[in-house]
């Protein structure tokens, strides 16, 4: 798939193909600089490392990384509640913050004056985008950070972004057709929605659209869906993996042996019980350290399971690779590109003393995620539709993703049930 001349591209070919041991020396230097800066300028890191009995002089390089505590999202959320808005992890004054990003669940993140994270830009090039390309960005610009980060990254590679966000599929198809857009960024389910809209408009997908490359993320990408999109549009579809707090953690190149780890993050795969690194080929939790001096994340746990790959790649990149994401170690899960955490679901249901028990069930229909709150009431009511409507409204407001409510008889939900039951299957 795709134009062979576009297949192998680099953001910084010298670094990305450099001997790994030589590159590790520079990563070691950058890690130490970030760690020491965080110790000096971040209130929370001083407290965290101090409580663990760690002095700045104890950490001399990447070989000491395992000595540092792992940061979990729950820790970040709790600290933000106590030290509003950034939890004491920020290292600069308000005059150095260009934006305040809002993540689902009202988790705050400062955006530096000049965006410097190159991890997404490296991914864009690795996937096949290049100078002069017109790329439509259908990730949501409304509140969430990722669309802005990709927008900045498109600028870094010398391409042009068309910032559309989600929705208005008729207009989006017309934009792609009229501007001869070559690149797409968004979720796999949304590009499938656009395909269906274009077919409904009577377009010849191959003749009337100019799409060559798609970067998809925020959702799982079953191979059946990838093949369906590639076959219909005669294009290349590659996926990225990352978070707003950490940047890009992995991306596919044209050869797809796994997820290449970008040059400016450190990725560990650890035993979730001990925090110790596991051997390549062994499954564990992905833990990431970035070099963002405005809001450094040091040994942040993602909750995702994967394993480091052993093999090299024909594209010439020498850095580590992750195999595919194997699942999660907790009950948090992504629904239509947005993380849903158990504590967020609790926040919704805590508003309703009428609810006796509940469970969130995630399924998938027609390549789209479906989230259902299965609810048992304390006592029967003759107006269940009123409670249902109110809860569905609060689900959208709190979780930033739509969900349905199904009221079931008492005793339907088993004891000791999972708060979030993900019933989706992926080939």
Query: What's the average model confidence in pLDDT over 196-207?
Result: 95
CA distance 416 to 42: 40
Is the pLDDT at 330 greater than 80? The verdict is: no
Neighbours of 207 (CB within 10 A): 7
Architecture of the domain made up of 4-22+97-330: 3-Layer(aba) Sandwich (3.40)
CATH of domain 335-422: 3.30.300.30
Is the pLDDT at 314 greater than 90? The verdict is: yes
CA distance 58 to 14: 32
User: Are 4-22+97-330 and 335-422 equal in CATH topology?
Assistant: no
How far apart, in Å, do the first and last CA atoms of the chain sit? 21
pLDDT at 300: 97
Judge if pTM exceeds 0.85.
Answer: no
Closest of 304, 372, 371 to residue 336, by C-alpha: 371
pLDDT at 187: 92
DSSP track, 144-169: -SHHHHHHHHHHHTT-EEEE--S--H
The domain limits of the chain are: 4-22+97-330, 335-422
pLDDT category of residue 426 using cuts at 50, 70 and 90: low
């Amino acid at each position: 798939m795709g134009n062979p001349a576009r297949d192998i591209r680099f953001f910084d070919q010298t670094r990305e193909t450099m001997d790994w041991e030589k590159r590790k020396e520079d990563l070691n230097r950058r890690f130490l600089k970030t760690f020491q800066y965080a110790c000096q300028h971040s209130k929370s890191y001083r407290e965290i490392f101090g409580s663990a009995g760690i002095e700045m002089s104890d950490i001399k390089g990447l070989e000491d990384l395992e000595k540092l505590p792992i940061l979990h999202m729950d820790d970040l959320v709790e600290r933000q509640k106590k030290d509003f808005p950034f939890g004491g992890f920020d290292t600069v004054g308000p005059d150095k913050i260009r934006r305040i990003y809002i993540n689902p669940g009202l988790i705050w993140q400062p955006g530096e004056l000049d965006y410097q994270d190159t991890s997404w830009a490296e991914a864009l090039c690795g996937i096949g985008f290049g100078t002069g390309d017109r790329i439509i960005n259908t990730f949501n610009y409304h509140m969430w950070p990722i669309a802005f980060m990709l927008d900045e990254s498109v600028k870094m590679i010398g391409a042009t972004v068309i910032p559309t966000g989600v929705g208005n599929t008729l207009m989006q198809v017309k934009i792609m057709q009229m501007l001869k857009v070559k690149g797409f960024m968004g979720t796999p389910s949304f590009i499938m929605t656009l395909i269906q809209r274009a077919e409904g408009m009577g377009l010849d997908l191959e003749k009337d659209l100019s799409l060559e490359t798609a970067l998809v993320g925020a959702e799982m990408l079953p191979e059946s869906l990838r093949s369906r999109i590639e076959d219909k549009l005669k294009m290349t579809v590659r996926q990225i993996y990352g978070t707003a707090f950490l940047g890009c953690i992995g991306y596919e190149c044209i050869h797809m042996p796994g997820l290449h780890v970008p040059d400016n993050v450190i990725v560990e795969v650890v035993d979730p019980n001990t925090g110790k690194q596991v051997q390549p080929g062994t499954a564990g939790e992905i833990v990431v350290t970035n070099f963002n001096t405005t809001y450094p994340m040091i040994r942040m746990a993602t909750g995702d399971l994967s394993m480091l790959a052993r093999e090299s790649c024909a594209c010439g990149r020498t850095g580590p690779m992750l195999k595919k994401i194997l699942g999660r170690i907790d009950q948090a899960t992504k629904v239509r590109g947005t993380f849903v955490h158990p504590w967020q679901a609790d926040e919704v249901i805590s508003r309703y003393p009428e609810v006796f028990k509940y469970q969130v069930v995630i399924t998938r229909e027609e390549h789209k995620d479906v989230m259902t709150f299965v609810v048992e009431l304390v006592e029967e009511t003759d107006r269940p539709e009123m409670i249902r409507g109110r809860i569905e409204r609060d689900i959208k407001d709190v979780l930033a993703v739509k969900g349905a409510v199904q009221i079931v008889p008492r005793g339907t939900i088993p004891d000791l049930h999972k708060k979030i039951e993900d019933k989706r299957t992926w080939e």
